[in-house]
């Protein structure tokens, strides 16, 4: 293993409440009725435009406003998941490069990482708007490996959804599932963990 690629929401951060709040704040601005928490949470991970398309007929028109709203309210509604900081710190200590590969808009992902204090741990961030199809298409995962200078077989891809598992396996990465509410047990990852610091013992000593 020579590099680690991470999904963002549900893998490194718990952003459910921030996303639920932001979707409903946007709907309220547009004079539309609120969506239920369950309706929104089940769509987390598919990408912003597909998520908004469930509630709005012209989702692309409202992406910029969603981003503006999100940045005004995500900080108090987002928390780093247990074990994430410990694993990221250990990757840095061992000089193992890391990247974010998310279906979120890349610019918003960077702002979130800065806001929660995790940006410094990553060598690259790839997301919606970078010209790649959204996961589960593996193209963005393969691109992240290329940009970190490793082959997919030498990289971990870590995520919390069936979408992540499909993308990681299709790319040829060792694929790790953070088990939780957004996976169905239909996927077959290489490794399953409950929290990210369980992976520290699996790290190579020198990144090689």
Residue 57: predicted pLDDT:
94
138 alpha carbon, distance to own chain's centre: 14
Determine the 3-state secondary structure of 82 from DSSP: coil
What residues in the chain have per-residue pLDDT under 50? 207
Each domain of the chain, given as residue ranges in start order, spans 3-14+79-202, 16-77
Q: Which two tokens stand for residue 148?
A: 């970190």
User: pTM (2 decimals)?
Assistant: 0.92
Q: What was the pLDDT predicted at 67?
A: 93
* 71 within 8 A of 111, measured Cβ to Cβ: yes
Distances (CA, A) of 100 to 26, 97, 140: 26, 11, 10
pLDDT for the residue 180: 77
* CATH superfamily, with its number, for domain 3-14+79-202: HAD superfamily/HAD-like (3.40.50.1000)
What pLDDT, on a 0 to 100 scale, did the predictor assign at position 48? 92
**What amino acid positions are annotated as catalytic residues?**
7
- Residue 5 near residue 99 (C-beta atoms within 8 A): yes
């Amino acid at each position: 293993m020579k590099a680690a690629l991470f999904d963002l929401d549900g893998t490194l951060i718990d952003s459910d409440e921030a996303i639920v709040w932001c979707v409903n704040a946007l709907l309220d601005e547009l004079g539309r009725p609120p969506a239920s928490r369950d309706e929104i949470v089940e769509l987390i991970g598919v990408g912003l435009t597909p998520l908004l398309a469930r509630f709005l007929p012209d989702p692309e028109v409202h992406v910029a406003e969603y981003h503006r709203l999100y940045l005004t309210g995500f900080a108090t509604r987002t928390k780093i998941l247990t074990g994430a900081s410990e694993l990221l710190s250990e990757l840095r200590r061992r000089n193992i490069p890391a990247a974010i590969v998310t279906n979120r808009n890349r610019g918003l992902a960077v702002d979130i990482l800065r806001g929660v204090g995790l940006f410094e741990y990553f060598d690259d961030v790839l997301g919606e708007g970078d010209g790649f199809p959204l996961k589960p298409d593996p193209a963005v995962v393969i691109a992240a490996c290329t940009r970190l200078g490793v082959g997919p077989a030498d990289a971990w891809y870590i995520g919390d959804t069936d979408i992540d598992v499909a993308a990681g396996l299709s790319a040829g990465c060792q694929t790790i599932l953070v088990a939780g509410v957004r996976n169905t047990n239909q996927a077959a990852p290489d490794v399953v963990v409950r929290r990210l610091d369980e992976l520290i013992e699996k790290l190579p000593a020198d990144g090689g």
